[in-house]
Amino acid sequence: MTYSEFLAWFLGEPLKIIVIILVAFVSRNILARASNRLLRKAFGASERRDQRSETISTVLNTFTSVVIWGTTALMVLSVFGVNIGPLLASAGIAGVALGFGAQTLVKDFISGLFLILEDQFGIGDVVEFGTVKGKVEAVALRTTKVRDEAGVLWYVRNGEILNVANHSQNTSWEK
């Protein structure tokens, strides 16, 4: 293969693939930094707000990464000549099936997101969820970890939390 043949080959598909991957990498990093800065400014500065900002930022960055790298993979496959139409149709059907199968998981994640956004409780708060009462050790999107007075660590699914009694935010009604 001569230099001109190699150059012509390289300026075709390999260069397209390199550009697609570079654009995806740069876009993902720019969006991650922008969302981190935006959330830090939106929530201000305190330990509790930093925790909320970090949790939401992690979720947003993960979602962004999945969308960008999934799109990148499909674009690279199309450069190779793969018909991505059937892949997109299959992904839609798989998404519906997964949605039906993972309803409780989705419910837990959405509930966890609103628990964090609404600041119903945070790490260090003494809370009560039905029969579970104790100190919150961790708050994530899917579960909340609560240690009771006996030292037992409870993993409570956020989708199952219907009522929250936050004893740390207790104020007297009497004046």
Q: Which whole number is the average pLDDT over 95-119?
A: 83
pLDDT digits 0-9 by tens, 60-104: 888 899 999 999 999 999 988 889 888 888 888 887 877 777 888
Residue pair 106/98 in contact by the 8 Å Cβ criterion = no
The residues, ordered by sequence, that sit 6+ positions from 126 with a Cβ below 8 Å of its Cβ are 133, 134, 135, 136, 166, 167, 168
Regarding predicted confidence, which is higher, 145 or 139? 145
Does 170 score more than 70 pLDDT? no
CA distances from 141 to 13, 17, 153, 154 (A): 41, 35, 17, 15
Please state the pTM of the whole predicted model.
0.61
Residue 175 pLDDT > 50, yes or no?
Answer: no
The per-residue pLDDT for 171 is 64
Q: Where are the domains of the chain?
A: 3-101, 126-169
Query: What dotted CATH number matches 3-101?
Result: 1.10.287.1260
The hierarchical CATH code for the domain 126-169 is 2.30.30.60
| Distance of alpha carbon 129 from alpha carbon 10, whole angstroms | 61
